[in-house]
Amino acid sequence: MIKRAIVAGLAGISLAGTLVLAEAAFVPVPYPEGYRDWTHVKSMVIEEGHPLYASFGGIHHLYANDLAMQGYRTKQFPDGAVIVFDLLEAESGGKAVIEGERKIVGVMHKDDARWPDTHGWGFEGFKADSKTERAVGDQAQTACMACHLSQQANDYVYSEFRR
Protein backbone atom coordinates (compact mmCIF):
# COMPACT_ATOMS: atom_id res chain seq x y z
CA MET A 1 0.00 0.00 0.00
CA ILE A 2 2.76 2.45 0.95
CA LYS A 3 4.73 1.39 -2.13
CA ARG A 4 1.75 2.23 -4.37
CA ALA A 5 1.32 5.63 -2.70
CA ILE A 6 5.01 6.43 -3.29
CA VAL A 7 4.80 5.37 -6.94
CA ALA A 8 1.60 7.40 -7.42
CA GLY A 9 3.20 10.39 -5.71
CA LEU A 10 6.29 10.17 -7.90
CA ALA A 11 4.11 9.86 -11.00
CA GLY A 12 2.23 12.99 -9.91
CA ILE A 13 5.49 14.88 -9.37
CA SER A 14 6.75 13.69 -12.74
CA LEU A 15 3.53 14.77 -14.46
CA ALA A 16 3.59 18.15 -12.73
CA GLY A 17 7.22 18.60 -13.78
CA THR A 18 6.30 17.75 -17.35
CA LEU A 19 3.53 20.33 -17.35
CA VAL A 20 5.86 23.00 -15.98
CA LEU A 21 8.44 22.13 -18.63
CA ALA A 22 5.82 22.30 -21.37
CA GLU A 23 4.71 25.73 -20.20
CA ALA A 24 8.30 26.95 -19.90
CA ALA A 25 9.08 25.82 -23.48
CA PHE A 26 7.18 28.77 -24.99
CA VAL A 27 9.55 31.72 -25.35
CA PRO A 28 7.69 34.78 -26.64
CA VAL A 29 9.03 36.92 -29.46
CA PRO A 30 9.26 40.58 -28.46
CA TYR A 31 7.50 43.34 -30.37
CA PRO A 32 10.01 44.95 -32.78
CA GLU A 33 10.03 48.54 -31.51
CA GLY A 34 11.12 51.07 -34.16
CA TYR A 35 11.04 48.59 -37.05
CA ARG A 36 9.85 51.22 -39.53
CA ASP A 37 13.22 52.94 -39.14
CA TRP A 38 15.04 49.77 -40.22
CA THR A 39 16.05 48.90 -43.79
CA HIS A 40 13.08 48.47 -46.11
CA VAL A 41 13.66 45.11 -47.79
CA LYS A 42 10.77 45.12 -50.27
CA SER A 43 7.02 45.45 -50.69
CA MET A 44 4.50 43.13 -52.28
CA VAL A 45 0.77 42.62 -52.62
CA ILE A 46 -1.01 39.29 -52.20
CA GLU A 47 -4.24 39.45 -54.16
CA GLU A 48 -7.40 37.39 -54.11
CA GLY A 49 -6.79 34.06 -55.82
CA HIS A 50 -3.32 33.58 -54.30
CA PRO A 51 -3.10 30.45 -52.09
CA LEU A 52 -2.14 32.56 -49.05
CA TYR A 53 -4.77 35.24 -49.59
CA ALA A 54 -7.05 34.11 -46.75
CA SER A 55 -4.26 34.47 -44.20
CA PHE A 56 -1.95 37.05 -45.76
CA GLY A 57 -3.90 38.97 -48.38
CA GLY A 58 -2.99 42.64 -48.60
CA ILE A 59 0.07 44.87 -48.83
CA HIS A 60 3.30 43.62 -47.25
CA HIS A 61 6.21 45.88 -46.37
CA LEU A 62 9.27 43.97 -45.17
CA TYR A 63 11.84 45.51 -42.84
CA ALA A 64 15.14 44.15 -41.51
CA ASN A 65 17.39 45.21 -38.67
CA ASP A 66 21.16 45.47 -39.30
CA LEU A 67 21.83 41.84 -38.33
CA ALA A 68 19.10 40.63 -40.69
CA MET A 69 20.69 42.65 -43.48
CA GLN A 70 23.89 40.64 -42.90
CA GLY A 71 21.78 37.52 -43.34
CA TYR A 72 20.28 38.75 -46.60
CA ARG A 73 23.81 39.20 -47.95
CA THR A 74 25.17 35.83 -46.74
CA LYS A 75 22.02 33.65 -46.68
CA GLN A 76 22.90 32.84 -43.05
CA PHE A 77 21.13 34.98 -40.45
CA PRO A 78 23.01 35.59 -37.18
CA ASP A 79 21.43 35.56 -33.74
CA GLY A 80 19.67 38.88 -33.17
CA ALA A 81 18.47 39.18 -36.77
CA VAL A 82 14.86 40.40 -36.94
CA ILE A 83 12.65 40.52 -40.03
CA VAL A 84 9.25 42.19 -39.92
CA PHE A 85 6.41 42.05 -42.38
CA ASP A 86 3.92 44.81 -41.87
CA LEU A 87 0.67 43.52 -43.40
CA LEU A 88 -1.97 46.09 -44.31
CA GLU A 89 -5.34 45.93 -46.00
CA ALA A 90 -5.11 46.73 -49.72
CA GLU A 91 -7.83 49.18 -50.73
CA SER A 92 -8.54 49.76 -54.41
CA GLY A 93 -10.25 52.75 -55.92
CA GLY A 94 -9.66 55.45 -58.49
CA LYS A 95 -7.22 53.21 -60.36
CA ALA A 96 -4.93 53.06 -57.30
CA VAL A 97 -4.20 50.59 -54.52
CA ILE A 98 -3.53 52.21 -51.17
CA GLU A 99 -2.77 51.03 -47.66
CA GLY A 100 -5.72 50.40 -45.41
CA GLU A 101 -5.80 49.33 -41.78
CA ARG A 102 -2.94 47.27 -40.37
CA LYS A 103 -3.84 43.58 -40.16
CA ILE A 104 -0.74 42.18 -38.47
CA VAL A 105 2.90 42.84 -37.71
CA GLY A 106 4.63 39.53 -38.44
CA VAL A 107 8.03 38.94 -36.84
CA MET A 108 10.86 36.46 -37.37
CA HIS A 109 13.54 36.76 -34.68
CA LYS A 110 16.71 34.64 -34.87
CA ASP A 111 18.16 33.18 -31.67
CA ASP A 112 19.39 29.58 -31.81
CA ALA A 113 19.32 29.14 -28.02
CA ARG A 114 15.81 30.53 -27.50
CA TRP A 115 14.05 28.73 -30.38
CA PRO A 116 15.94 25.50 -31.14
CA ASP A 117 12.77 23.64 -32.20
CA THR A 118 12.23 26.05 -35.12
CA HIS A 119 15.82 26.14 -36.39
CA GLY A 120 16.64 29.20 -34.31
CA TRP A 121 13.72 31.31 -35.47
CA GLY A 122 11.03 32.72 -33.20
CA PHE A 123 7.81 33.68 -34.95
CA GLU A 124 5.00 35.98 -33.89
CA GLY A 125 2.17 37.99 -35.33
CA PHE A 126 0.97 41.02 -33.41
CA LYS A 127 -2.66 41.78 -34.25
CA ALA A 128 -3.53 45.12 -35.89
CA ASP A 129 -1.83 47.96 -34.01
CA SER A 130 -1.38 46.00 -30.78
CA LYS A 131 2.09 45.46 -29.34
CA THR A 132 0.81 42.73 -27.00
CA GLU A 133 -2.06 40.81 -28.66
CA ARG A 134 -0.43 37.74 -30.20
CA ALA A 135 -1.72 35.71 -33.14
CA VAL A 136 0.89 32.90 -33.10
CA GLY A 137 1.97 32.32 -29.50
CA ASP A 138 3.12 28.76 -28.89
CA GLN A 139 1.93 27.58 -32.33
CA ALA A 140 5.04 28.66 -34.30
CA GLN A 141 6.01 25.08 -35.20
CA THR A 142 2.76 24.45 -37.07
CA ALA A 143 1.63 27.98 -37.92
CA CYS A 144 4.93 29.24 -39.36
CA MET A 145 7.84 26.82 -39.47
CA ALA A 146 5.93 24.18 -41.42
CA CYS A 147 5.87 26.54 -44.45
CA HIS A 148 9.34 28.00 -43.89
CA LEU A 149 10.97 24.53 -44.00
CA SER A 150 10.97 24.74 -47.79
CA GLN A 151 13.42 27.65 -47.51
CA GLN A 152 16.16 25.77 -45.66
CA ALA A 153 18.80 26.84 -48.23
CA ASN A 154 18.03 30.48 -47.34
CA ASP A 155 18.08 29.91 -43.56
CA TYR A 156 14.28 29.48 -43.67
CA VAL A 157 13.63 33.01 -45.02
CA TYR A 158 11.43 33.53 -48.09
CA SER A 159 12.24 37.13 -48.92
CA GLU A 160 15.26 38.51 -50.67
CA PHE A 161 16.60 42.02 -50.43
CA ARG A 162 15.49 44.14 -53.40
CA ARG A 163 18.56 46.01 -54.54
Which of 91, 67, 89 has its CA nearest to residue 77?
A: 67
CB 112 within 8 A of CB 93: no
- The band of 2, judged by pLDDT with boundaries at 50, 70 and 90, is very low
- The band of 25, judged by pLDDT with boundaries at 50, 70 and 90, is confident
Query: What are the residue ranges spanned by the domains of the chain?
Result: 29-154
- The band of 26, judged by pLDDT with boundaries at 50, 70 and 90, is confident
Which distant-in-sequence residues (6+ apart) come within 8 Å of 32 by Cβ? Answer: 63, 65, 82, 84, 105, 107, 109
Question: pLDDT value at position 23?
Answer: 44
* 121-159 residue pLDDT tens: 999 999 999 999 999 999 998 999 999 999 999 999 999
Question: pLDDT value at position 101?
Answer: 98
Quick one: what percent of the chain has pLDDT higher than 90?
A: 81
Instruction: State the Cα–Cα distance between residues 76 and 152, nearest whole angstrom.
Output: 10
pTM score, two decimals?
0.83
Which of 83, 85, 79 has its CA nearest to residue 102?
A: 85
Helix H or strand E encompassing 61: strand 58-64
User: Domain 29-154, what fold?
Assistant: Chalcone isomerase (3.50.70)
